[in-house]
Structure 1
């Protein structure tokens, strides 16, 4: 992957008096620690390097001194990475991506883009003389949290990947309160530079479906497929088309299904023309699109179940109000509307408040009442709450459940309705990288740094580590597919269980028992490889000579 060369070439040179490992070499050692230990704490790297000093020097051919990997030097590396000009990191990613595409013959038919948020427990650093409304640091802000923690500061991470295994090509660490839609077109431009052509299919979420993004991608010769954000008049358009389809509706099956099975989706498409006016140049761009109207059976079941659950919860809350309605009509109306809005069922439940006014006779003094005893009339208000489901609207909601609008400028020969469904079902690929950052083998959380430049530098290194994991999976899975074989022995307690899609974590875990022994006479020996380890090395196209001596130092 040429990581040492790329880092040393693009990063500014260290102080002239600095000795020892270069930024590139230091970056490789930190990446090795993160990959093998699933930890990004800098304070633990020095002792780890000391413990594995001999094997690290043997495999790299570098002279590693005791203080080369101190936490101060590693922090300096992250600060240089995170604080360097954007052009430096972009150049590293561009050259690295072009090299990986060529060296591993990566398919470049489909690229994806997605973002996530990562929450931190930091507090904004404020001077004691500043007012309470002082702004937080530029990177860390409160914003829309995908971890459902709006109370925490966060930053956003963008990944753009290549199918079929989610190989990262473009990444960016963004402020926590920014909008996602402006990043999709510049990301597409960077993908074009790395991949070398514009004929790949660009897939992203609904935030990429703005008129500007779609128009600029089409203007520059790109192909896209996005779900449309349900804003403006689009819900009405979807409702009209679903209730009265303007074109024939087709069943959509997975490649593993047969026609007698229940289709995974149904859908149809509507050709439309689009116009976009560039706000800067006032030039107009016209192009043709296909609006894909697709109903997912699984999504429909999920939405119907969710609606039934919300209706039931709302009715339980309304019945509690019936038992104690109070005596103020306005207050009761406010409470009922709050319940309907909380459970998002205002369209599906109607109610009315029946008011009954009576005048009770109250005597002015105590004792047994008599005919001539003075009394007064006291006005009493009795409220009764009545509600019922709007069955017609609920039935329409069931009919609309599971339907989504997608838009693409691809010709039918390039992207059929069935292919669009299959491609979008694979949108989990960037999410796999986010999972590794949050709860997996490449943890970014919890973030121990409060310096935002170090956070940026760490995330850049983690995306490089993610490339390593993804390359391992891609190469092994491609070899298994070519050989029409599966790999067994990776699962503890079930050695006969086999898979054609092994993960990098399980492949690397198979090598955890290997030890290098150093004898007093200076000779070394390594634990013999078992059959599974030899098979994995063959699939990875890695020579077994890496585990023999004399060892050839890689260049």
Structure 2
């Protein structure tokens, strides 16, 4: 009979190392890597679309010190800075199917994660000509240079406020923007888009600037709410304001006191509703915007993994068990994606949390009588009953 310790041992086996860590690799090769590659090969054919891969990271906290290498303190996206953590990276294909996961110590900066993953995609899966889509946390001059040296296309979110090129050149460009409409389930999104090239010839840097008027109005309203609160607090005294990061960004010293920095307010208004992409892909600005917005698929995967599939909390104390624990969630995501595809082919659109709740209510019982054994279960209901 299977007992709980059997499942724990199997989970640890999934995360066990089978090769020494290669030079420049994020992590050693493990059993889970072999399974990821087998799953990928199983669905791969001559028509498999590998033209686009999406990549994002999140942090997962431990209750305890974590493993030998994975438990480290770092910037917590879980908003739990007091806990040790690891960084989890997930790669999905253009159809939203998970390709692989990478797990690294919690003090690893996002900007150092992208290139080792790209290298592993090339060696593990033969993905050599894909366009990599990743958020602004992974962009750096070194990363872009490395991607271009490999001949890889990319669409990367850019840091509007900290990049001198974007702040002083791209956003200062006076060319008109073109109105575009993105169709979405919650209603159309009105955008204004333009392309800005910095430099000339083959070495020109290509940026795509978008203005979302609805987001611009929200940014302005949010900032005004902070200023209204700040003005009220300044009348009561300014010492406590310095510890509030939302307030501090709009303050400047005036002698021994603080006052609202009007220049900072004007500078912040430049970024209302603005987002900037850096790309070398041979696509239109609209295509670049749509592909970058598809990166939300990965963020949705993280939410599902953390909530519906109970990735957190993590109590394990070995790297192998931690890797196995997270990989089980990866397998659940892969199964969920395939079940979604099959349901859609039948005209069904299940919601996963209610579906899991319905499955959890099912009960099974085995009855032995007069030498006969009968196994029965409760009646299915809800989405499972459909």
**Shorter-chain TM-score category?**
0.7 to 0.9
Equivalent residues of 2:51, 2:131 under 8 A apart: yes
The TM-score normalised by the length of structure 1 is 0.58
CA distance in 2, matches of 1:443, 1:274: 51
Structure 1: 5+ residue stretches without partners: 1-65, 125-135, 276-285, 322-331, 354-384, 481-485, 488-500, 537-555
Does 2:233 match 1:302? no
Give, in angstroms, the shift of residue 346 of structure 1: 3.7
Give, in angstroms, the shift of residue 253 of structure 1: 0.9
- Distance 1:509-1:313 versus aligned 2 partners, 3 A rule: closer
Does 2:108 match 1:178? yes
Give, in angstroms, the shift of residue 518 of structure 1: 5.9
The TM-score normalised by the length of structure 2 is 0.80
Bigger relative contact order, structure 1 or 2, given CA contacts below 8 A and separation 6+? 2
Does 2:255 match 1:406? no
Give, in angstroms, the shift of residue 523 of structure 1: 6.4
Give, in angstroms, the shift of residue 530 of structure 1: 9.1
Structure 2 equivalent of residue 81 of structure 1: 14
Does 2:183 match 1:255? yes
Structure 2 equivalent of residue 433 of structure 1: 301
- Distance 1:388-1:461 versus aligned 2 partners, 3 A rule: closer
Give, in angstroms, the shift of residue 177 of structure 1: 1.1
Equivalent residues of 1:116, 1:157 under 8 A apart: yes
- Distance 1:516-1:137 versus aligned 2 partners, 3 A rule: closer
Does 2:337 match 1:466? no
- Distance 1:152-1:388 versus aligned 2 partners, 3 A rule: closer
- Which of 95, 103, 127 aligns to 2:38? It is 95
Structure 1 equivalent of residue 23 of structure 2: none
Give, in angstroms, the shift of residue 145 of structure 1: 0.4
Give, in angstroms, the shift of residue 213 of structure 1: 2.3
Equivalent residues of 2:136, 2:156 under 8 A apart: yes
- Distance 1:222-1:341 versus aligned 2 partners, 3 A rule: closer
- Distance 1:319-1:95 versus aligned 2 partners, 3 A rule: same
SS in 2 for 1:170: strand
- Which of 241, 248, 252 aligns to 1:344? It is 248
- Distance 1:143-1:420 versus aligned 2 partners, 3 A rule: same
- Distance 1:468-1:342 versus aligned 2 partners, 3 A rule: closer
Structure 2: 5+ residue stretches without partners: 19-27
SS in 2 for 1:253: strand
- Which of 313, 317, 320 aligns to 1:450? It is 317
Structure 1 equivalent of residue 25 of structure 2: none
Q: 1:176-235: CA deviations, max 9, x gaps?
A: 111222221232233345664544331111132222322232332322100113475x25
Equivalent residues of 2:114, 2:143 under 8 A apart: yes
- Which of 42, 51, 56 aligns to 1:114? It is 56
SS in 2 for 1:97: helix
- Which of 158, 173, 190 aligns to 1:245? It is 173
Equivalent residues of 1:433, 1:466 under 8 A apart: yes
- Distance 1:517-1:337 versus aligned 2 partners, 3 A rule: closer
Q: 1:515-547: CA deviations, max 9, x gaps?
A: 68767435667889899869x6xxxxxxxxxxx
CA distance in 1, matches of 2:3, 2:341: 34
CA distance in 2, matches of 1:173, 1:160: 12
Give, in angstroms, the shift of residue 150 of structure 1: 0.8
Q: CA RMSD in A?
A: 3.7
Does 2:76 match 1:145? yes
Structure 1 equivalent of residue 121 of structure 2: 191
CA distance in 2, matches of 1:195, 1:393: 48
